[in-house]
Amino acid sequence: MNLSVLSAGAWGTALAIAFAARHKVTLWAREEDVVAAMRNKRENTRFLPGHPLPDSMLIEADFDAAVASADLLVVATPLAGLRTTLARLAVIAPKTPLIWVCKGLEAGTAKLPHVIAAETLGADARYGVLSGPSFAEEVACGLPTAVTLAANNHDFAHETALALHTPRLRIYANDDLAGVEVGGAVKNVLAIATGISDGLGLGLNARAALITRGLAEIARLGEVLGGKRDTFMGLAGMGDLILTSTGDLSRNRRVGLALAAGKTLPQILEELGHVAEGVSTAREVARLARDLCIEMPITQAVDAILHQGVAADVAVEKLLSRDPKSETA
């Protein structure tokens, strides 16, 4: 299969490396220095250094050329670029199926990616999302990873999962687009919370409590948005939440650790050098929860720290002082 990965960030590059074992892969990048490095050094020295690109992989700077020959498109842009990219694809490749790998809610609208896809691609398009517990560094190294592929068409989900599946990148088909996307979006916010907790030295008990109660927040929002409870117990829910909250490769966890250390958000993002989707997602999820009258206190606390100037220790104390209630409420 001819497969084009659109955007050569760390995650797009890692997936391109993994998929090249079975498919003819083209990797598109908009940054001239990244294209030059990948062509000359056969390595993405800017976003994923230390991982050689397969000789068979094509590097493309021309977006239209990268799309033209593809049987499947993998959109690996950050969420902020998803709508623009899909709108462009709707014009130049309206019949080419695609999956995206970004996580979050659209800034300003709080829309999930599949809603953006429906608006830009139309009802007849075949599309889906690849999500789950996966660090780019480990996928590029060929370490065992399992993820979920959810799509708007049952056959497309299963056929695409089978086509992309490898012994080291196991892909499980799913038909719950909303549930998979909510899990992938909100876990980034909760990873910031866990990083703050660990950075403040609140202990492993607190970390476990945050992850568990955070999963309850994911499920509350996800079910209201049409997701299935079983999805939140799987790879795209619990699995992704555990990895992102505890793994030090997690950008969002690192944001939380840095906030606990007293650094400002602009300073943190500059030092990070990559997109941490949980920063923008926190505001959208918190607003959506208020609008839908869904109780999400951890998410609200993270939003207050990130966007309302509340100190991390003050937000934590406010969270801990809440009245007790039934665990299943």
* One-letter amino acid of 169: L
Catalytic residue among 103, 111, 187, 228: 187
- Which is nearest to 197 in space by CA: 308, 205, 218? 205
Neighbouring residues of 320: CB distance < 8 A, sequence distance ≥ 6: none
CB-based contact 120:128 (threshold 8 Å): no
HSE of 267 in the Cβ direction (CA atoms, 13 Å)? 8
CA 213 to chain centre: 20
CA 111 to chain centre: 14
Q: Is 95 a catalytic residue?
A: no
At 258, list the tokens.
């840095």
Please list the residues that pair with 171 across neighbouring strands: 147
171 by Cβ neighbours in 10 Å (0-12 / 13-18 / 19+) ranks as buried
Instruction: Report, as residue numbers or ranges, the catalytic residues.
Output: 187
